[in-house]
Structures are given as C-alpha cells and as structure tokens.
Structure 1
Amino acid sequence: MSNKRSRERNEDAEYEPDSKKAWNDPRQTVLDLITSAEQSQYADSGVNLTYAAGCTEEENYDTVTLKDIIGDEHLEELYQFNFTVDLHYLMENLAENVKTSAKIKVIHGMKESIPIIEATALVYPNVEIYSPKMMDRWGKTIMKEYIDLKDKSIEQHVSGLQAYITPRYAKVAVVTANICHADWNQMCQATYRTPVLPLKSETTEAGELIGSEHGSPFERDLISYFRAYNMKVTNELCEKLRLYDFSKCKAVIIASVPGYHQDRDSEKWGLKRLQHILTKKVDIVPECQKQSIILTQASSIGALSPVDTDLQHIADCLDVSVTGLESAGFLRMDSATYEKLHSWFPSYLCRWEGKVGGRQKIMPHYKSYTRLRANPQTKIDATGNEIEARASIAWHLVTSANLSRAAWGDLQKNGTQLHIRHYELGILLYPDLWEASIYDEQETHMLAANHRNPMPKPPEFVSVNDGDVIVPVRIPYGIPPKNYASSDHCWTTAFVE
C-alpha cells in the first residue's frame, strides 16, 4: 500500500526533472545546477527575484532583468500589461533588431499618464496603447504580465537548448515591477516565467482537450483573466494563446478583476479564489500542519480586521536603503488607517531583515503570501555556509495584490457577493504541482532558499526519501521572522506628512 499523501491534484501536475530554462540568461543560475546529474532531484519553481543594482554580484545570484524577459532577438509580438509604463525604458530593453519591427501592445492602468504615454508612442509606429475601463476611481491597479509570441520559419525555429518543429511558440511572464528604471534596478521584485509554450499538437484542436475547454487549468484561468478585460485587444490575445500548450506550467493563477461577483462566480477571483484553491486543491505537508505560520509581505495596506503576520519596513531600514527615504513613496501605509489598527496590528508586524536573503538595502515592492514552518536552527558546513533550508513551504503566492479589500475583494451580502475594485494577478505554488500521480511514492518538498544556499537540503523535521523532488524558492526576507521591538514603528505616511 502506498504511503502517498492523499490530495486533490491540479490537472496538469507532472514532474519533469530535466526541464530546461525558458529564458536565456548569461549568468549562472539554479537551473544550471539542476541540470547536473548530482542535482537531478531538484526542480525549478519558475520564480526568481529581479536584478538590483545596489546589491553585490553574490546577492544577485539567479536574478533576472527586464532584458532577460523581453530582449529576445526573435520577438515578433509583445503584449505588455502594467500599471505604470515608461515606454522609452520598455523599448530600450528590446533586442536591437526587433525594436521597429515587433508589434508592441501596451495595456496600462494609470489614467494620469495617458497623455504622456500616448505622446511618447508617436515616436514608435509599432506601438499601440490601450487603457481598460475601470468601475470606480480606485480600480486602476493592473498586474504586470508579459506575453510574447514568436513566429519564425520552421528551419529557423530554435529556442535555447530545445528545437521545435512548429513555426510558433509563446512565453508568459508575471512580474511585480512597473516598467521603469527604478522598479527594475533599485527595488526587490519577483517574476514567474512559464516554460516555452509550443504549439499544440496537430491532432488537438486549438483550445481543446478531452474533458476541458482548454489545454490546462493554467491556460483556462489565464484566458479567463484576459477575457475579463472585455477589450478587443485582449480578446485577440486570447484567441492566439489558445493555440499554445500550457500543460507544463506548474502554477495556479490567483487573479482579481473589478466587479460584483456573486455565488459560484465569486470563487473565480480574489479572496474567494484563494480560499477555494487552498481548501480544495492544497493538502498541507505534514511538517506544516501543526507548526507553521503565514507570512504576508506587502508595500501597502488597507483597512483590515485582525490578520496574520505582516512584514513592513520601518524608518531606520529606509534610511540605509539604496534609495534612502525616497523609498517611502512606495510604502503606502496611510497614517489614519494605521491608527485605526493600532490596538492590535503592531503585534503582528515583523522586520524586513533582508540580509539573509541578499536584499537588506533594497526597498521591497513585490507582494507575497506564504505558509511555512521555520527551521529554528539551520545547520552549517565547515566554512560557515548554510546547508539546510531555513523553512519548509506549504504554499507560496507571488502577486501584485497588496493587503486590501480593493485588491482581494470585500465580502458583502452575508458572504454571497465579493466586490473587487482592482485588476490583480498572481501565481500560487505548492508541492503537489510537481508530483506525478497518486500512485507514485515520490514526494515533493518546497524549501526556502537564498543566494548563499540556492539548493538547500531539507531540515531535520522534513521526512525525505530517495527519489523525492525538492523545489527551492528564494525568499528575500529573514526566516524565522523577527518581531518588532517595542521601540520599532511601522512606516506610515505620517513620516512625510
């Protein structure tokens, strides 16, 4: 009898230890190590931190730049979704040979910048600008995604270390950074990148798979998100994406779209979507069932009721950061909101403590929600380097959604209606996504990694067998978390008012 944990599985869960990197990157990466025979038990999570100019080469290990994502010389079409877009900066990061030929479509959400970006677009005839309609003045936040389509002749169709016999393929990246120099060089950001998405088999009709309208849950949910924009440009994108095979994507999309969502429809978006996946799909690994915490890392917080631990910067952390107190403009904790929460909220706050993660002097801008069990005492080798992981991870969500009702939704009408005001997009990772079948003895363990220990060994409290898969996920803040001292104060707008 198999001792396999019984779980409900994501439809596209399939482990491939020899998967190759989707984007070319000249720097050494975790994927370079994974491909070696000795490290075949490790699998790539698809999540990376972005490069930061204020960090050392060691701290920037296994990071990516904007050019790494969109700087492909074979790019023919790019769909760029974002809140803020510096069009000149976007174009600077394209390969020289496609800057005037590739079709660039920018869907952005900052209403105030429309005149500027439209004027800038006149310099680039191959760029089209779009802005979605929002339901109210707060509905401006658009998640950051990149969709790039490649279309080349069959004989020239080569991607990295893999050659395809089909003329087209696609790639998708979800990132937390706006399109501007500061976000990509001076802040702690994250990105999730899919594997290369080949065309579906000729024997499979576009967008179809037995028992499913689309080829995978990832494809279905991504297309549903784009359909929700209700724009001609996004509908056209959906028709193109239906041609590609998303079955290798080991992530679950957690998205928010503006509107009043009722009954079963509410389970597709925001807080209710996350609740549905965590209760119906995710089986918490044994080591995290009784001794785990949920860490929330955000740069903006709305009015809340009591919640789990949150990681927020404080004044002295800002002062020694690369950008100094200018970083405060991206930490939007309203002073009035904080006063309302003051009776209970400070006891949940933790210091950023980014030294262990190689991001001590970089202002955090990305948002993450993670359930983990911290390792109270990490083993080190003779040279003082860590061997074990600092935590075992039950699930990890990287998203654009800050901790607010506008982003996650406000439950109304006795919980039967969810009101969301923002477009948000994130991806959820959990161990089951890398496991092959319920009859396989193989287990998967997600472990917290950092730049000095990119491929950690499991802590002693994690039971590991031969053949088990390890998925390292780089966490930029300190684990175990360090609570605020009595002298610490949460950064709010009061410091600059």
Structure 2
Amino acid sequence: MSQESEHGKWTVSSSDESVDEQPDREKPPASLLQRTRHDQTPDEPRYPCSEARKAAYKRKSSPMKCHNESCPQEMIPAQKQKPPQEGLGWCLSSSDEDDDVKGQIRKRAEGTREGGSCASSKMPSSSHSLPLNHVSLEPSDKMRDTWDLLNGTSPFRFFLTKVKGIKSKYNSGSLHIKDILSPLFGTLVSSAQFNYCIDVEWLIKQYPKEFRDKPLLIVHGEKRESKAELHEQAHPYKNIRLCQAKLDIAFGTHHTKMMLLHYEEGLRVVIHTSNLIHDDWYQKTQGIWLSPLYPKMPPGTADSAGESHTYFKRDLISYLMSYNSPSLSEWVEVIKQHDLSETRVFLIGSTPGRYQNNEKEKWGHLRLRKLLKEHGMQVPDQDSWSIIGQFSSIGSLGADQSKWLCSEFKDSFISLGNNLKIRTDREVPIHLIYPTVDNVRQSLEGYPAGGSLPYSIQTAQKQLWLHSYFHKWSAETSGRSHAMPHIKTYMRASPDFQKIAWFLVTSANLSKAAWGAFEKNGNQLMIRSYELGVIFLPSEFGLDTGYFHVKENIFSDEPVMSFPVPYDLPPEKYESKDRPWIWNIPYIKAPDTHGNMWVPK
C-alpha cells in the first residue's frame, strides 16, 4: 500500500500491516524472524530485537546520503560511521572489548584511567564529526566517584545512565551498567537479569572479569526462532541459565527490566529502563532505581521479617511468583532471607492475565490507582494538576480519547487520597512527551536513534487525535536534549510545574498491553505484558505537604527532597510543523547530525 506525506513517499508491506494489530509490540511474532545467526548478514544484529531496531542497525551499518533531489529513488551509501570513542563524557574500563572497537577502547582505558578518573582527549578525525554542542568540553575527572554517589545525600536512589558525547558535568551522578556491576557494590555470588532485548556476549563483558563465571539467570520472553537464537547465544557460557516467561495472551512482551544481584554482603535490586544491548547504554536517556544493599537476616528469622513500610518485599515476591518458574522460586528464597525494610518506594508491576475482583488491583494501572488512593495525599486545587506521561513507544489506544486514555487510564492516574471520589468528567490536563522527528534528527545518534522509538505509521494514522496531547522531548537542564529517551516516566504536576505529587519510573510505555484494559464492563482487567517500575510518594520521604518540589537543576545542591525530574518542565507543546517520530517511513528532506537520511527498508 503506497502512501505519501511531507516526509516523502513510502510503501507499507503486507507484513507491516499485520504488525498493526500488535498494540505494544516492539517486535514481530517469531514467524517474522525466520532466520538463525548463521543466516544473518552484517546488517543484522546478532540478538533478537524489534523490526525498528533492525532498521536502525542496518542504517548504522550502511548509512544513506541523498544523491540528488529524486530521493529516495536515488540513494547512495554514506561512508560508514565510526563510533566516536574519545573525549565524549565518560570513561570506559579495560574490559570494554566490543569487537568493533576493541583496540581503541583498550588503548584509551590503559592510557587515561588513573585513580578512578579519565582525562578528556581530542575527537578522532571524521567526516561525520558531531556538532560542537554534542562534544564533551569538560574533563571527566570532575565526575563524582561512584561510591560517594551511591552513599551520598540523595534519598531517592534514582539515577540516569551515562551518555557518551555530552559535557562531563551532565554525567555527574549518572551510572553505566559497569558501575552497577562493579565490585565496589559487593562480592557477587549470583545474579538474575530480566529484560526484553538481550545481547548475551555484550552482557557478559559488562561484568567484571572476576564475576563473569558466576551463576547468571536470564529471564526473557522469546519464543520459537528468537528463543533458539537466544539459546545459541548463551550456549558457550556454562554459568548461564535461561528462564522463559510465559506469554499466553497474544501480542504480549516480557518488557520488565530488572537486576537481582546477590552478594556475599547482601542483596541489591535494580529496576531500570535499558535493554541489555550496547546501544541502550551508549547515547540514550535511561532511568535506574538502585536499592540499598539489603543485609542478610540472622538464621532463624521469620521469612516475613525485613519488610518495608511500602511492602516492597511482599510485592517483589508476588511479582516473581507470577512467573510460576522453579528458577525464580530459588530467588524468592534468597529475597526472604534478606532485610528489605529500608526501601522507600512502592513496586508497580504488570503480569499477563485476566484479573477480577481484588486481583485486579495487584497489577497495571489499577495497582497505581490503589497506591495513590491509599498513600497519596490530596493537594489544593488538584483538578488543575496535570498528568504527565513520557515514553518511547505507543500502542493502539482506540478511535478517540474516551476509549482508554481519558477514561480508565486517566481515572487511575488522577487518584490522590482515600477521600477523593473519582469523577470521569474532570478536565485534568494531560501532557504526553514523545520525541518529534526533529528531536530524533538532531540527536547524538541521528535518525538511527528512532529505532528505539517504535511508533508505527499503521498505529499513528488510526489515532491522529492523540497527537494533540504531544509535547517535545526537551532536557536542557540535564544536558540530554540530544540523547533520545528510552526512559519511561509518569507524574502529577502542579499548574506551575514546580511541584509533583508523585513520580514513577517504569518499563511501561503508553499502551493497553502494558497498563491493562477493562473487559466485561469494567469487571475484568486484561494485561498482555510483563512490566515493572517504582513510584516515589512524598509520604514515604517524610513530607506531609503531599508533593515534592521539582529540582530546578538536577546537578545542584538544592534541598535533598527536591525531585530530580530528568527533563524540562513545563513541557513544550508540539508546534504546527512538528510531527511525532514514526519509525517505518522515510525522512529524506533534511540530513541528521551525521549527514544521513532515514530509509528504513
């Protein structure tokens, strides 16, 4: 089916049209992945992933420049982009040995790393140098030590991932996966990694060498051919076990991103938004909640001991038990042996199923509704407090806003306090933050950044009404306007956007599959996917005002109870010329920051 817009002309194939029926599907069914690693070309990643990410991988491997005005009929390959390695804001350790840049990285790690810091170097010469505003201009040895960071004054334990290619000061207070897995955090005994897209070889290299043979459980949702690919990846590593999450409802995904890290010294839980692949830890904005180190309880202590005021231990165990997996039952026993009482956040998860009666409130948006009613606090004039949603993918939400967004979804997100009766007619503002085409084009990665923003033309053209809610991605205060978001956050903000009633970081995108949708006249909640996040509520941080102040500068020494929202407020509404990024159409009228165009097929 041929279509045309201001971005050019494109063709929707029959396989693309079938994906339209997948409400939150970043990846096609396994029937569309008819290949093994032996069949792959250099333009394909070695791990199972979405069609959007495959397109991005292909464009990185074979960039396209516009030859003349007849594009896309006349497209020629651009010079292959070499990943910039020098002087771009964060330091790699000597174990960063990705095959394509092994020599350069080892040389840099050995030549610059002294006393836990690294000095900035000159950019390598390239015909595709980044713009000046993308280049680190400050020495990265000004960054705070990771250990001090984790044991500092911030009570939230909410972090962003490090971004290569921004000023070093903007990586202050940020973490790379190598930091999280560092021996500084403990002597690892075993670990579990829950995720959606997994590059096993890359993941193993993120562990310190002394931990790479420790038992590792990988929890995934792959089926058929893509499951076989994952097993083939893991086969060389005798310490790895795989656990397949059951996905019995069509078009669901195992989208949860969590680490369980068992140390000789205790246990740590990490809930985050990054896939376990290089690109997600390189030049994207991602979020991390890192638990305290949970100490082991004395022998003979009751399993029910060590609970937090937020019932985090109970809810984490309940989430793991929903997999009905013997491998995860072993981890439940580990959790029972530890004291999680210092946890200040609430867990919000989704697991596939159809839930009725009290079971409905355990998962999805009804879980959020219950927590906000029981633990949220009413604030003055709260009808004027906005719902802000920020995400990297969008599902099919219905023919108009009344079908889901402004009904059941909104009703859950506006709950605040037990005494507040929900009224569906309330005109609570909704601001949805999703990158524009220009946001992606001007990003550090250029157009390939859009591979992690899998909003399709088939879905978008059915819900044009949604675009009136859209706001641009803007993160000047955190220095990440050019690092495209894969983080997903939701909050309730005051009319002046200087206060928030709560903040949620989660794997859940804006979709029914992730949050759930009512069936049987509201008597049943149906969820397709596994998701996991944590919510920060003022009451758990000693505040009786019902809100956090928004931290004006997330790197400043403002009062510790000011929350570090990772993007600019107030959100900036799309202008008339702005369009949401849609991954499966070409963009050929303007080059990206690397001088390339976007032709996904």
TM-score range, shorter chain: 0.7 to 0.9
| Distance across 2 between alignment mates of 1:328 and 1:251 | 31
Distance 1:144 1:393, change over 3 A: same
Q: How many residues align?
A: 415
Distance 1:285 1:45, change over 3 A: farther
Query: Which among 271, 276, 291 is matched to residue 194 of structure 1?
Result: 291
Distance 1:238 1:259, change over 3 A: same
> What amino acid is aligned across from residue 448 of structure 2 in structure 1?
E
Identity %: 30
Aligned to 1:476: 566
Which residues of 2 match residues 38-77 of structure 1 at below 5 A?
A: 43-72=154-183, 74-77=187-190
After TM superposition, give the deviation of residue 46 of structure 1 in Å.
Answer: 1.3
SS at match of 1:49: strand
Of 198-207 and 87-96, more deviation after overlay is shown by 198-207
Aligned to 1:447: 549
User: In 2, are the aligned partners of 1:71 and 1:93 still within 8 Å (CA)?
Assistant: no
For residues 169-189 of structure 1, the C-alpha deviation after alignment (integer angstroms, 9 at most, x for no partner) is 100000100001100112110
> What amino acid is aligned across from residue 220 of structure 1 in structure 2?
R
Aligned to 1:13: none
Distance 1:109 1:475, change over 3 A: same
| Distance across 1 between alignment mates of 2:583 and 2:349 | 28
Of 265-274 and 120-129, more deviation after overlay is shown by 120-129
> What amino acid is aligned across from residue 580 of structure 2 in structure 1?
C
Of 271-280 and 485-494, more deviation after overlay is shown by 485-494
For residues 247-294 of structure 1, the C-alpha deviation after alignment (integer angstroms, 9 at most, x for no partner) is 1111000100001111100100001111111122211444x7354211
Aligned to 2:324: 230
> What amino acid is aligned across from residue 206 of structure 2 in structure 1?
N
After TM superposition, give the deviation of residue 311 of structure 1 in Å.
Answer: 0.6
Aligned to 2:234: 121
Query: Which among 136, 147, 171 is matched to residue 268 of structure 2?
Result: 171
Query: Which among 332, 350, 364 is matched to residue 256 of structure 1?
Result: 350
After TM superposition, give the deviation of residue 416 of structure 1 in Å.
Answer: 1.1
| Distance across 2 between alignment mates of 1:150 and 1:493 | 41
User: In 1, are the aligned partners of 2:257 and 2:507 still within 8 Å (CA)?
Assistant: yes
After TM superposition, give the deviation of residue 452 of structure 1 in Å.
Answer: 5.6
> What amino acid is aligned across from residue 108 of structure 1 in structure 2?
H
| Distance across 1 between alignment mates of 2:250 and 2:554 | 44
Ranges in structure 1 where 5+ consecutive residues have no aligned partner: 1-24, 37-41, 152-167, 376-389, 437-441, 458-469
Which residues of 2 match residues 10-49 of structure 1 at below 5 A?
A: 27-28=143-144, 32=148, 43-49=154-160
| TM-score where L is the length of structure 2 | 0.65
Which residues of 2 match residues 245-284 of structure 1 at below 5 A?
A: 245-284=339-378
Aligned to 2:205: 92
User: In 1, are the aligned partners of 2:361 and 2:367 still within 8 Å (CA)?
Assistant: yes
Aligned to 2:432: 310
| Distance across 2 between alignment mates of 1:33 and 1:106 | 28
User: In 1, are the aligned partners of 2:379 and 2:546 still within 8 Å (CA)?
Assistant: no
Aligned to 1:110: 222
Whichever of the two has the greater Rg, that structure is 2
SS at match of 1:301: coil
> What amino acid is aligned across from residue 94 of structure 1 in structure 2?
Y
| TM-score where L is the length of structure 1 | 0.78
> What amino acid is aligned across from residue 237 of structure 2 in structure 1?
Y
For residues 385-419 of structure 1, the C-alpha deviation after alignment (integer angstroms, 9 at most, x for no partner) is xxxxx621210010001111111111011111001
User: In 1, are the aligned partners of 2:172 and 2:555 still within 8 Å (CA)?
Assistant: no
User: Are residues 1:487 and 2:577 paired?
Assistant: yes
| Distance across 2 between alignment mates of 1:234 and 1:215 | 24
| Distance across 2 between alignment mates of 1:403 and 1:34 | 31
| Distance across 1 between alignment mates of 2:346 and 2:146 | 22
| Distance across 1 between alignment mates of 2:480 and 2:552 | 10
Of 119-128 and 399-408, more deviation after overlay is shown by 119-128
Question: How large is the Cα RMSD of the aligned pairs?
Answer: 2.6
Aligned to 1:352: 473
| Distance across 2 between alignment mates of 1:106 and 1:185 | 22
For residues 174-219 of structure 1, the C-alpha deviation after alignment (integer angstroms, 9 at most, x for no partner) is 010000110011211000011110122557312347xx8x996000
| Distance across 2 between alignment mates of 1:35 and 1:194 | 11
| Distance across 2 between alignment mates of 1:218 and 1:132 | 22
> What amino acid is aligned across from residue 558 of structure 2 in structure 1?
P
| Distance across 1 between alignment mates of 2:262 and 2:454 | 36
> What amino acid is aligned across from residue 71 of structure 1 in structure 2?
S
After TM superposition, give the deviation of residue 55 of structure 1 in Å.
Answer: 1.7
Aligned to 1:144: 257
| Distance across 2 between alignment mates of 1:408 and 1:289 | 23
User: In 2, are the aligned partners of 1:30 and 1:455 still within 8 Å (CA)?
Assistant: no
User: Are residues 1:243 and 2:337 paired?
Assistant: yes
SS at match of 2:581: coil
Relative contact order, higher structure (CA 8 A, sep 6+): 1
Aligned to 2:494: 373
| Distance across 1 between alignment mates of 2:512 and 2:383 | 29
| Distance across 1 between alignment mates of 2:317 and 2:150 | 31
For residues 69-103 of structure 1, the C-alpha deviation after alignment (integer angstroms, 9 at most, x for no partner) is 12226111001111111111211111221212x11
> What amino acid is aligned across from residue 163 of structure 2 in structure 1?
A
Aligned to 2:138: none
Distance 1:31 1:229, change over 3 A: same
| Distance across 1 between alignment mates of 2:353 and 2:260 | 25
Of 447-456 and 268-277, more deviation after overlay is shown by 447-456
Distance 1:216 1:273, change over 3 A: closer
After TM superposition, give the deviation of residue 445 of structure 1 in Å.
Answer: 5.3
After TM superposition, give the deviation of residue 453 of structure 1 in Å.
Answer: 4.2
For residues 22-78 of structure 1, the C-alpha deviation after alignment (integer angstroms, 9 at most, x for no partner) is xxx984179958988xxxxx6421111111112220111110110111222611100
Ranges in structure 2 where 5+ consecutive residues have no aligned partner: 1-115, 118-142, 406-429, 587-599
After TM superposition, give the deviation of residue 471 of structure 1 in Å.
Answer: 2.2
Distance 1:33 1:177, change over 3 A: closer
Of 320-329 and 116-125, more deviation after overlay is shown by 116-125
Which residues of 2 match residues 284-303 of structure 1 at below 5 A?
A: 284-286=378-380, 289=382, 291-303=384-396
Aligned to 1:183: 280
For residues 110-144 of structure 1, the C-alpha deviation after alignment (integer angstroms, 9 at most, x for no partner) is 33532233222232211112212211341223311
| Distance across 2 between alignment mates of 1:418 and 1:290 | 26
| Distance across 1 between alignment mates of 2:338 and 2:321 | 17
Distance 1:444 1:69, change over 3 A: farther
| Distance across 2 between alignment mates of 1:279 and 1:199 | 33
> What amino acid is aligned across from residue 64 of structure 1 in structure 2?
L
| Distance across 2 between alignment mates of 1:135 and 1:274 | 24
Distance 1:452 1:77, change over 3 A: closer
Of 138-147 and 220-229, more deviation after overlay is shown by 138-147
Distance 1:310 1:443, change over 3 A: closer
> What amino acid is aligned across from residue 338 of structure 1 in structure 2?
A
| Distance across 2 between alignment mates of 1:216 and 1:392 | 22
| Distance across 1 between alignment mates of 2:540 and 2:296 | 22
